[in-house]
């Protein structure tokens, strides 16, 4: 026997009345009673193709309820091919219940069969309780408890052993995310949802996850072995959505273009209180707190607009003082991939305060007792290429107008031994530019580097630096001691009309002037490439003017020579601070009116450099009675190519060239015969001379 109701929308009491009528019929000629109810629905729910089949001769009330499709706001997707087989139930005028039932359905294209189910439907009070156990979902099991009180409903879910990779079978949005980020791992789920009709009143959920991995298509964001927990709550209020969430990670690794995190070493948590305004497509993080003990803690608030594209509208962030060394080493260095930064040591603490608005952004960084040293491994002598100690300050940056920043340090050094004294510097950081507010005086050994202007800007290919200043006199004795040279006499000072840094190259604009050995060295076209890197290189053209030979030769134990020296070095190139090529020539200036004298020791050393072979000859002749000789002019030239020095003197001779052309009484000429000399052999001779020993002639 069957009845048919087609495409009717009737309230639940009418449906119950049909069920009661069916249960009260006593028809001996039929074994089953079938009601074809068609399409039924109420506020917030709808069922199509609904049918009820009752077994009239079972010892307990047995019935089958089926539907082609069921929609309800508590369900993420419609249920299709729904079939509920109650094998031990009870149908009365006041209650429909089933303590032993099996449910078959299709969810998002996935067929689920034999779900253990229980139902209790109280007709008078319109209370419905449904419990579903062992629902197969994404490789795991899900249990659901549904309570319906007329239009009010409550849903509880508990899932175990879910495979994240297979979540795409539940919903299309999940499938897109799983595929896009290559998600994998295990998941446990518990959630409760409460609502009225189609409206959600409150929801809370908890996810326990382990061995989670992901990667975006570009490989910029990667997670591996992540484990932890996520909790969230949400509810509508005044046309908005408000809620909280907390993420805790205690295992795994996370890599982004900006930072690297290792929750296995340092567990972390992120908590937020948020609000979503659908009418404005605006998400407000009214409060967020990030905590990674022993590394970084900060809190703040933010707003994000979702239309037309996601963008940050406002941000306020304040951090607690944090350890600079640990954060740099563990969180920043892995993503910077810069060999120079790997050879850097840091200590001290810092704190951040960030504010962002549409019309202005500001960042304040407080530095406390910071120590920084770079190049320790590269030098291998326990001292770095560059260091600053006890650095303190407040750095203020603004996209438009920043407050003045001040930093100070108590000491430091360059290239190991060139000491830097205590300094206080005022800076302005605005937009993409850092500039000096007023002149800064930086003590260097026993002098000062006075920076008159400084500007650092961001260019298309990297940072751009411009500098102008001068160096007050520094004793050559202090310089030679700092860099391990033999003691030098005199002072070093100079003007730097302009210095720039771009594309990794430091260049001196115009002409730099260095005063040394009572004369001057003019530097043109000076460029430094990879200054603190593995292969620093220098190129320049030099001009020497009025160098005092007595000061120069006394400094290097060369033997006494008086007079002046001028010369030039063109196309000079140093690699790792060693010459690889140049074209140099030095000689007595044509207008030099000073006294020209040269000692026997200097004669021997010059002779050996030119390969004249007269070393010691003076001591075997009558000239040994003279300690000094007069000369008219002297000079030497060297063009270095491929490790060979092509040598010359002040003028050519019949069989060689003049290194010294005599004048006055007693007079002596020194000739050179070697036109080509191995550069390393020549350097070895110069080192022997500088140490006070006589060079070996081979």
The share of the chain scoring above pLDDT 90, in percent, equals: 40
pLDDT, residue 22, reads 46
pLDDT, residue 74, reads 63
- pLDDT tens for residues 139-188? 899 999 999 887 888 999 999 999 998 887 777 777 888 888 899 999 99
Q: φ and ψ at 180, to 5 degrees?
A: -65, -40
Given a contact cutoff of 8 angstroms between Cβ atoms, the answer to whether 560 and 597 are in contact is yes
The share of the chain scoring above pLDDT 70, in percent, equals: 87
Q: How confident is the model at residue 65 (pLDDT cuts 50, 70, 90)?
A: confident
Alpha helices in 511-570 (DSSP H): 549-555
pLDDT, residue 559, reads 81
Taking the C-alpha atoms of residue 38 and residue 48, their distance in angstroms, rounded to an integer, is 6
Is pLDDT of 479 > 50? yes
Helix, strand or coil, per DSSP, at residue 41: strand
The residue among 573, 592, 570 whose CA lies nearest residue 638 is 570
Average pLDDT over residues 435-440: 92
pLDDT, residue 382, reads 60
Mean pLDDT score of the chain = 84
* Model-wide pTM > 0.85: no
Q: In terms of C-beta density within 10 A (0-12 exposed, 13-18 middle, 19 or more buried), how is residue 638 classed? A: buried
Q: How confident is the model at residue 324 (pLDDT cuts 50, 70, 90)?
A: very high
Average pLDDT over residues 632-658: 91
CA distances from 4 to 38, 39, 50, 194 (A): 7, 11, 10, 34
Where is pLDDT greater, at 75 or 421? 421
pLDDT, residue 185, reads 94
Given a contact cutoff of 8 angstroms between Cβ atoms, the answer to whether 165 and 184 are in contact is yes
pLDDT, residue 613, reads 43
Is pLDDT of 444 > 80? yes
Is pLDDT of 698 > 60? no
Pairing of strands 386-398, 423-430: parallel
Query: Using a CB cutoff of 8 Å and minimum separation of 24, what contacts does 80-85 make?
Result: 80/105, 80/106, 80/107, 81/105, 81/106, 81/111, 84/117, 84/119
Q: φ and ψ at 49, to 5 degrees?
A: 65, 40
């Amino acid at each position: 026997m069957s009845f048919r109701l087609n495409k009717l929308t009737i309230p639940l009491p009418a449906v119950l009345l049909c069920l009661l009528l069916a249960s009260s019929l006593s028809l001996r000629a039929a074994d089953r009673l079938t009601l074809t109810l068609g399409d039924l629905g109420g506020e917030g729910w709808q069922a199509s193709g609904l049918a009820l089949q009752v077994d009239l001769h079972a010892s307990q009330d047995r019935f089958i309820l089926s539907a082609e499709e069921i929609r309800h706001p508590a369900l993420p997707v419609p249920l299709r091919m729904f079939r509920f087989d109650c094998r031990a139930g009870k149908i009365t005028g006041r209650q429909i219940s089933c303590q032993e039932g099996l449910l078959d359905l299709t969810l998002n294209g996935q067929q689920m069969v034999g779900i253990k189910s229980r139902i209790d439907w109280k007709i008078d009070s319109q209370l419905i309780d449904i419990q579903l156990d062992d629902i197969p979902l994404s490789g795991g099991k899900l249990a659901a408890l549904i309570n319906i009180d007329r239009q009010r409903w409550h849903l509880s879910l508990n899932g175990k052993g879910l495979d994240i990779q297979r979540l795409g079978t539940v919903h299309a949005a999940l499938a897109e995310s799983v595929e896009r980020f290559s998600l994998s791992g295990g998941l446990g789920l518990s959630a409760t949802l409460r609502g009225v009709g189609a409206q959600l009143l409150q929801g809370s959920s908890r996810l326990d996850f382990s061995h989670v991995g992901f990667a975006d298509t570009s490989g910029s964001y990667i997670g591996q072995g992540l484990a932890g927990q996520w909790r969230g709550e949400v509810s509508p209020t005044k046309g908005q959505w408000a809620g909280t969430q907390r993420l805790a990670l205690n295992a795994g690794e996370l890599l982004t273009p900006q930072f690297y995190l290792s929750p296995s070493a340092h567990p972390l948590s992120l908590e937020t209180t948020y609000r979503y305004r659908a009418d404005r497509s605006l998400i407000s993080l009214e409060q967020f707190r990030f905590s990674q003990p022993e590394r970084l803690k900060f809190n703040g608030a933010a707003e994000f607009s979702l239309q037309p594209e996601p963008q940050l509208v406002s941000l306020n962030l304040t951090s607690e003082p944090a350890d600079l060394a640990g954060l740099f080493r563990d969180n920043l260095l892995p993503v910077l991939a810069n060999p120079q930064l790997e050879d850097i040591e840091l200590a001290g603490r810092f704190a951040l305060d960030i504010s962002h608005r549409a019309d202005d952004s500001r960042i304040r960084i407080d530095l406390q007792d910071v120590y920084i040293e770079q190049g320790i491994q590269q030098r291998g002598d326990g001292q770095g290429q560059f260091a600053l100690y006890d650095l303190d300050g407040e750095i203020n940056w603004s996209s438009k107008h920043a407050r003045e920043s001040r930093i100070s340090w108590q000491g430091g050094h360059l290239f190991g031994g060139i000491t830097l004294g205590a300094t206080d510097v005022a800076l302005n950081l605005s937009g993409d530019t850092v500039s000096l507010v007023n002149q800064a005086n930086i003590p260097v050994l026993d002098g000062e580097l006075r920076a008159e202007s400084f500007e650092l800007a961001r260019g298309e290919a990297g940072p751009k630096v411009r500098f102008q200043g001068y160096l007050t006199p520094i004793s050559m004795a202090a310089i030679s001691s700092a860099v391990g040279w033999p003691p030098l006499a005199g002072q070093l000072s100079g003007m730097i009309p302009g210095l720039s840094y771009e594309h990794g190259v430091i260049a001196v604009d115009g002409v730099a002037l260095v005063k040394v050995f009572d004369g001057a060295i003019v530097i043109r076209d000076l460029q430094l490439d990879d200054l603190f890197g593995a292969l620093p290189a220098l190129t320049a053209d030099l001009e020497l003017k009025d160098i005092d030979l007595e000061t120069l030769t006394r400094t290097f134990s060369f033997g006494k020579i008086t007079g002046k020296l001028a010369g030039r070095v063109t196309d000079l190139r140093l690699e790792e601070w060693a010459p690889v090529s140049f074209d140099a020539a030095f000689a007595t200036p044509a207008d030099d009116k000073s006294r020209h004298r040269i000692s026997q020791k200097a004669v021997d050393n010059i002779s050996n450099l030119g390969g004249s072979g007269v070393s010691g000859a003076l001591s075997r002749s009558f000239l040994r009675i003279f300690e000094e000789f007069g000369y008219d002019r002297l000079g030497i030239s060297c063009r270095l190519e491929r490790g060979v020095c092509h040598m010359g003197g002040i003028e050519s001779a019949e069989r060689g060239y003049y290194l010294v052309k005599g004048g006055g009484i007693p007079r002596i000429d020194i000739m050179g015969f070697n036109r080509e000399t191995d550069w390393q052999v020549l350097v070895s001779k110069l080192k022997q001379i500088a140490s006070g020993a006589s060079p070996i002639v081979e």
